[in-house]
Amino acid sequence: MNVKTLACASLFAVLSFGTLAAQATSMPMTDNNAMQYRYGDHLDVKKVLSVKDDQSNACGVVNTRMDYLDSKGQHESVEYRSYATAGCHDN
């Protein structure tokens, strides 16, 4: 086995472990009643009640939950991924 093959295999292994760690941190928030948003889904939002990130001081992609009332006055929740910027700047 030459050095180039060993280096490629090592890089692949490191990237694979990074992907597994990223998937582990991107698990949905704790409520099972919330709908998982998919791009293109239609949301019937009359009034937004709250929007919460699972990591308040993060910089990057985080899980976000929005609680809202639909046009019938029913309480609904949706979870989606968003880009948080609160931790992106040094103060």
pLDDT digits (tens, 9 = 90+) for 6-22: 665 665 565 565 554 45
Task: Flag whether 63 is in a domain.
Answer: yes
Q: 13 phi and psi, to 5 degrees?
A: -65, -45
Mean pLDDT of 26-30: 51
Task: Flag whether 60 is in a domain.
Answer: yes
Euclidean distance between CA atoms 6 and 13, whole angstroms: 11
Q: 79 and 68 in contact (C-beta within 8 Å)?
A: no
pLDDT of residue 91: 56
Euclidean distance between CA atoms 91 and 89, whole angstroms: 6
Task: Flag whether 57 is in a domain.
Answer: yes
Nearest by Cα to 78 from 27, 24, 41: 41
Task: Please write the tens of the pLDDT for every residue from 33-81.
Answer: 888 998 899 999 999 999 988 877 888 889 999 999 999 999 999 999 9
pLDDT of residue 10: 63
Domain region containing 19: 3-84
Please state the domain count of the chain: 1
Task: Flag whether 89 is in a domain.
Answer: no
Task: Flag whether 10 is in a domain.
Answer: yes
CATH code: domain of residue 50:
2.30.140.50
